[in-house]
Structure 1
Amino acid sequence: MSVFQPSSGGRKPTPRTVGRNYQSIFVMLFVSAFLVGGMGSRLAYLQLMQGSRNRQLAENNRIRLIPKQPVRGNIFDRKGRVLASSRLSYAVYLWPIALKKGDWPQTRQRLSKTLNIPEADIQKRVERAGFNSPSLIRIERDISPAQITALAEYSNQLEGVEVDIEAVRNYPNGDLAAHVLGYTGELNDEELAKRKSEGYRMGDIVGQMGVEQAFEDKLRGEWGGQQVEVDGAGQVLRVLGQKKAKSGKDVQLTLDLKVQKAAEAALGNRKGAIVALDPNNGAVLAMVSRPTFDPNIFSTRITAATWKQLQGKGNPFVNRSMRGFPPASTFKVVTATAGMESGKYAPSTILPTYAALQVGNTAFGEWNKAGFGPIGFVRALAMSSNTFFGQIGRGAGGPTLIEWSRKYGFGQKTGIELSEEAQGLVADAAWKQKVYKWDWTVGDTVNMSIGQGFTQATPLQVAVMFATPANGGYRVKPHLLKDNEESKSWRKSLNIKPTTIKVIRQGLREVISAGTGKALDVPYMPPIAGKSGTAEAPPGKPHAWFGAYAPADKPEIVVVAFAEHSGGGGSKVAAPMTLQVLEAYFNKKPPQPSKDKQARPN
């Protein structure tokens, strides 16, 4: 007996029913073959055609690159005191490849709120790196403890977000020497595109101004990093490779912190500048400009509100010690040199002075409105006679005066390392014709001879000018990088006759002992030589100048003080500032009245 009965109920097969029992089997086999073939071809495509890409994606999910930014080199003053260094802080990083697209909007919103960064900025940063980037990218620097805590509280909602320690720039003296030191900041897109060939990468911090920019190559160091293997939770399983970051080199400047502090205090809140340098080799001992800024604010992201507030302080990023202004009567040193070196005026020349010197239709007035009678170079410098030096300039001639202006370094950059330096202006006939379509006149020469007219000089250039008679006739090249080179490497002889130098030095000394600079004739200080200047600067108030060097017989330091639109004369406004810096350099203070003198009588 058969166990299984045929499904036809015992009917015999017919031509119409033959093979029907195997039809379903054929269909199943066909479908299976189609599916297997499709899957096989897809696997073949993924393996053969897309294999490299998929292996890279898998590798990127497993391998993480952790960059280590180098610690920037320190900046020291001439005696090894710290002017700029680095401190540890916390930064926020994103790991793009670990960001889940579905969670990304929520992550971005949370970061924006916690870090006070626009979502668009965060999005742009990730897009620049690429969502498949295996490297961490920094989105914020120097975050606060409160922000660290907030990020920790929401860590379960912030996959791919990490907080790590990094070094940021620190200026322990705040805004002191800000225009010299400059500041650091992260490269923007445009800067990065220009400097990629130099090895810079997204997120790099670079010098943006001053010494930080000038010595970027020394200070920057070299990136390091780790290549690590991580698990699905992002935990490090093992270090695959490591390159230590190489710290930047330290830089020692010629600045003297003590003198710099004294210059900062002397200028106070006045708009202007003070420069102090060694007249023998051009080493800059102090350089101050006001208004100023605190470079520490650039250690973190600058908001639009902060930037607007900074700009509202009157161009605080302009280094006025390297911007041009009319040099006024300080320029008479150049005029005296041109007169004697031209051969037209002997060192013993005596000329009458007047209430005003008439040149064509223009009267060049004497500042005392009366004149000083017949005087020579020494007395003319001491009393700053406009009519005396007007005659000298007119007699020597415009070309000679212009030639000596340029020999002293006016109208050109001094060569100091800072890129912000302006060249000033020494006008000539060609310049005037090009700019004004007018010919050069005798009046232009006379105006120039007293430091007015078209001439523009920077406080740094004026300091270089004063260094020339101080050191015996050499033009020095001011510099900020301290080294052990001999002074002759930093100066060039102007081939001025010794008799000319002698007369100018006598005149500058008499300015202090019996002329317009008596405020610096104090018994507790070594002998000082110098010159005042008050520049007409319409439509504002006059500028005040005073330049001095000391000791007068063997100078060690030149100081130039400049007060922009001060409203007072050089002797009244700028001379006391110069004295204050000299006091700090020589470690001298005015004697204090005795207690007996201070006590009131009964």
Structure 2
Amino acid sequence: MAKPIRIKDHLNEAGIVQRRIILATVVIVLLSGVLLARMFWLQVVQYEHHATLSENNRVHVQPIPPARGRIYDRNGVVLAENRPSFSLNITRERVPDLETTVALLQSLLELDDEDINQLHRRLGQRRRPFEAVPVMFNLTEDQIARIAVNQFRLPGIEVQASFVRHYPQAEHFAHAVGYVGRINEREMETIDRVAYAGTHYIGKTGVERFYEHLLHGKVGYEEVETNARGRVLRVLKRTEPESGRDLTLHLDSRLQAVAEEALGNRRGAVVAIEPKTGGVLAYVSQPSFNPNLFVTGISHADYGELRDSIDQPLFNRVVRGLYPPGSTIKQIVALAGLDYGVTTRTARVYDPGFYQLPNNSHKYRNWNRYGDGWVDMELAMARSNDTYFYDLAHKLGIDRMHEFMTKFGLGTRVSLDIFEESAGLMPSREWKRASRRQPWYPGETLITGIGQGYMLSTPLQLAHSTALIANRGVWKRPRLLADADGQGPDESDTPENVVLRNPSDWDFIIRTMETVMHGERGTARSAAAGAPYRMAGKTGTAQVVAIAQGARYDSAALRERHRDHALFVGFAPVDDPQIAVAVMVENGESGGRVAAPVGRMLFDAWLLPEPEPEPEPESIEEEVTP
């Protein structure tokens, strides 16, 4: 039987369509409402926020590094300056493929593997987003031209002109002035990143580090408008940076050259101080190095050569070198004996060529094995008689010696603004008990009295203690900066002046030091010969290796670096001290023969008028008669 045909209900279908239209209309209205609400939220409620984000995408604040302050010597000779240099900068966020770009740079600029490794190290350092990182310095004209021709292939790469630190005196002031270098990761954690924005260099050693806060300056800023690719379209606002302060030092380039010439090719140190101010006039550590190598990054080969050199050119002997002072401290021991009343100016000691402690068979030898007979303090100073000072040290004892000699800066840091100074060592019972867990022995007191044994000092300390004697006990900390204007280091911790029970002892000790230079039996009389002024000094010879009991010092049997050090300290002129010096010649053997002449050359250069250059002979043109 056939199935009945269903009749279409038009009225019902019309209702379904109408309901669907209403539902669709409601959904559309709701979605439109949500869209309008979101537009209202973004355009009205959060207008300020999104306007700022948009502006930041268009406007960037770029730091402008300040020019570093220059450094001059006392006569205006430039010791550190800034020179223009072209550097290759990379902004990593604007480089689509860093590896491809670096490979292209290697091909274009013909870089070796070490250059590429250094480039990657510089790129890996911490930095601000979109900050350009200099990866190559001192670009040649050919390199600049190759980059310019291929600029379209090098997005994010640009050549920028900037100032780079330069030291025109090169190795002559490397240890005093120091050098700047790139800011490393450790320094990045301690510096003020806002103050160093855009700056890639910081002082590493010497004056450059100690006075970093004065030399650095204040960073500037400029607001620039950029396009979508980050290219600068225009400068909207600019705040100029403030250059670092120029510094003038007490150092004298001419005296420095004289000291270096006098020292020659020998290893050692020379320090000259102006007693009245404490200003350091000459600061020589030999051998030296070229600080310009470190500014933009020293190569592995160059650094390895400096680091592995047996002569240690990177070692600052002036403030880091610790040497037995030898006889150069005998004048201080003599002052201690007078001040504590354990001896007098005229008391005599018999010298048979050695000294023995009571009930002890060990002989402490005098350098003159035949002895000088009866000697008083003045003769003992002139002859540098060890036996006399063995006896005096025994009478004083190590406790009083330590107390008195530390007043002269021995065993302490004495400088005001010299970076990395070592304190040296003025031994005591407490020091030996703490460091060696041993008692102090009487024999150790004897050898301390002639500047040997545990006692160690720096050339700067010896120069300062000599200047202190020239000043009759008035403390003036050694300093490099001459124009502090209230911005120099704090001087409130300067030790108290050395006050003697009998002030006339200063004059007596200075007279004994004058005898060393001008007396008939003085150990430095040959160095002072013919001088038109009077000088005071003390020679010294310090053992590097111990000599067995009863054995003689044999220079020929020792390796060159095992021979004695030669030392000299002194000041001049005696009646109005203008300069105090300390000379230390490593393995020089004789203080009077080797070190004292160096001191004399500095005295002459500072006190005597500079000789006028000889006039060039006039050229005489022969008259030709036609």
Q: Indicate yes or no: 2:585 matched with 1:563.
A: yes
The range that moved more, 436-445 or 376-385, is 436-445
Q: Indicate yes or no: 2:595 matched with 1:574.
A: yes
Deviation sequence 1:55-78 (CA, Å, 0-9, x none): 777656533444321111111112
| Aligned partner (choices 84, 99, 109) of residue 105 of structure 1 | 99
User: Deviation at 1:561?
Assistant: 0.7
Q: Indicate yes or no: 2:323 matched with 1:329.
A: no
Whether the 8 Å contact between 1:476 and 1:492 is mirrored in structure 2 is no
| Aligned partner (choices 341, 346, 359) of residue 348 of structure 1 | 346
Whether the 8 Å contact between 1:520 and 1:528 is mirrored in structure 2 is no
Counterpart-to-counterpart distance in 2, 1:112 and 1:66:
28
Taking a change above 3 Å as real, the CA distance of residues 453 and 253 of structure 1, as seen in their structure-2 partners, is: same
Q: Indicate yes or no: 2:514 matched with 1:509.
A: yes
Q: Indicate yes or no: 2:580 matched with 1:586.
A: no
The range that moved more, 471-480 or 70-79, is 471-480
Taking a change above 3 Å as real, the CA distance of residues 52 and 110 of structure 1, as seen in their structure-2 partners, is: farther
SS at match of 2:373: coil
SS at match of 1:196: coil
Give the aligned residue type for 1:316.
P
Q: Indicate yes or no: 2:185 matched with 1:189.
A: yes
Taking a change above 3 Å as real, the CA distance of residues 366 and 119 of structure 1, as seen in their structure-2 partners, is: closer
Q: Tell me the equivalent position of 1:319.
A: 316
Counterpart-to-counterpart distance in 2, 1:386 and 1:263:
30
Deviation sequence 1:450-470 (CA, Å, 0-9, x none): 010110111111111211332
SS at match of 1:526: coil
SS at match of 1:175: helix
Q: Tell me the equivalent position of 2:553.
A: none
Whether the 8 Å contact between 2:122 and 2:135 is mirrored in structure 1 is no
Task: With the length of structure 2 as denominator, give the TM-score of the two structures.
Answer: 0.82
Whether the 8 Å contact between 1:509 and 1:528 is mirrored in structure 2 is yes
**What is the correspondence of 1:84-99 to structure 2 with a 5 Å cutoff?**
84-99=80-95
| Aligned partner (choices 204, 209, 212) of residue 213 of structure 1 | 209
The range that moved more, 447-456 or 168-177, is 168-177
User: Deviation at 1:44?
Assistant: 7.4
Give the aligned residue type for 2:536.
A
SS at match of 2:511: helix
User: Deviation at 1:233?
Assistant: 6.5
Deviation sequence 1:350-370 (CA, Å, 0-9, x none): 221121112334321111111
Counterpart-to-counterpart distance in 2, 1:273 and 1:16:
117
Whether the 8 Å contact between 1:137 and 1:203 is mirrored in structure 2 is no
Taking a change above 3 Å as real, the CA distance of residues 257 and 591 of structure 1, as seen in their structure-2 partners, is: closer
User: Deviation at 1:45?
Assistant: 13
Q: Tell me the equivalent position of 2:530.
A: 523
User: Deviation at 1:15?
Assistant: 6.0
SS at match of 1:165: strand
Q: Tell me the equivalent position of 2:336.
A: 338
Deviation sequence 1:363-401 (CA, Å, 0-9, x none): 211111111111111111111000011111111222111
Aligned length: 565
**What is the correspondence of 1:433-448 to structure 2 with a 5 Å cutoff?**
433-448=433-448
User: Deviation at 1:46?
Assistant: 12
SS at match of 1:177: helix
SS at match of 2:172: coil
User: Deviation at 1:119?
Assistant: 5.8
Q: Tell me the equivalent position of 1:6.
A: none
Counterpart-to-counterpart distance in 2, 1:401 and 1:591:
49
Taking a change above 3 Å as real, the CA distance of residues 162 and 512 of structure 1, as seen in their structure-2 partners, is: same
Whether the 8 Å contact between 1:276 and 1:559 is mirrored in structure 2 is yes
The range that moved more, 271-280 or 151-160, is 151-160
Give the aligned residue type for 2:274.
D
Counterpart-to-counterpart distance in 2, 1:550 and 1:244:
50
The answer for unaligned runs of 5 or more in structure 1 is 1-12, 593-602
Taking a change above 3 Å as real, the CA distance of residues 458 and 119 of structure 1, as seen in their structure-2 partners, is: closer
Deviation sequence 1:430-487 (CA, Å, 0-9, x none): 211222232112111111100101101111111112113322232331111114899x
Taking a change above 3 Å as real, the CA distance of residues 483 and 222 of structure 1, as seen in their structure-2 partners, is: closer
**What is the correspondence of 1:434-513 to structure 2 with a 5 Å cutoff?**
434-483=434-483, 492-496=496-500, 497-513=502-518
Q: Tell me the equivalent position of 1:4.
A: none
Deviation sequence 1:182-223 (CA, Å, 0-9, x none): 101121112111113673346431111110111111110011
Q: Tell me the equivalent position of 1:412.
A: 412
Counterpart-to-counterpart distance in 2, 1:263 and 1:161:
48
Task: With the length of structure 1 as denominator, give the TM-score of the two structures.
Answer: 0.85
**What is the correspondence of 1:29-428 to structure 2 with a 5 Å cutoff?**
59=55, 62-99=58-95, 101=96, 103-112=97-106, 114=109, 117-118=115-116, 121-122=119-120, 125=123, 128-129=126-127, 133-196=129-192, 199-201=195-197, 203-231=199-227, 236-313=232-309, 314-323=311-320, 324-359=322-357, 360-428=360-428
Taking a change above 3 Å as real, the CA distance of residues 536 and 157 of structure 1, as seen in their structure-2 partners, is: same
Provide the alpha-carbon RMSD of the alignment.
3.6
Q: Tell me the equivalent position of 1:553.
A: 575
The range that moved more, 310-319 or 378-387, is 310-319
Give the aligned residue type for 1:70.
P
Whether the 8 Å contact between 1:362 and 1:443 is mirrored in structure 2 is no
